[in-house]
Amino acid sequence: MRRRPIFEALTPWAGLVMGIAAAGFVHQFGSDGTFDHCETMAPVPVILVAVLGMVVTLGSGLISWRSVHSAEGSRRVVAIISAGMALLFAFFIILTIMAGLLIPPCFQ
């Protein structure tokens, strides 16, 4: 009897799915907050949400990477690509953090 077969089936996809969701949320939160409420949203709340998104992205990429050894065939390829995409999304979030630190609030 297999333990949690649905979780095991989805682990190769974790970095891709959660990484794009976290990067999208960080981008949306930062752009909406900066343009709609620039006096209160920049830079501390944007950086906090970006760090949380970074933790989610890197954690899901680690889940995908750990599933590489147990996966077979196409699932192994998906796990490798998913872990790599999680790193790419983490780089995107690093750029968001840098922009939050460098660009002044209400920059027009």
- The per-residue pLDDT for range 1-36, each reduced to its tens digit, is 456 688 788 899 999 999 999 999 999 988 777 677
Give the whole-angstrom CA distance, residue 20 versus residue 14. 10
- pLDDT (tens digit, 9 = 90+) per residue, 74-95? 889 999 999 999 999 999 999 9
CA-CA distance, 89 to 38, in Å (whole number)? 25
Q: Considering only CA atoms, which of 95, 86, 88 is closest in space to residue 17?
A: 86
Look at 104 and 43; give whichever has higher pLDDT.
43
The Cα–Cα gap between 62 and 45 comes to: 26
Domain borders along the chain are 10-102
Residue 16 in tokens: 């891709």
Q: Is the pLDDT of residue 107 over 70?
A: no
Say which range, 33-42, 45-54, 62-71, 79-88, has the weakest mean pLDDT: 33-42
* Triad 27, 37, 35: Cα angle to 5°: 50
For the chain, how far is it from start to end, CA to CA, in angstroms? 60
Q: What is the pTM of this model?
A: 0.84
For residue 1, the model assigns a pLDDT of: 47
Cβ atoms of 2 and 68 within 8 Å: the answer is no
In the prediction, which pLDDT does 61 show?
A: 95
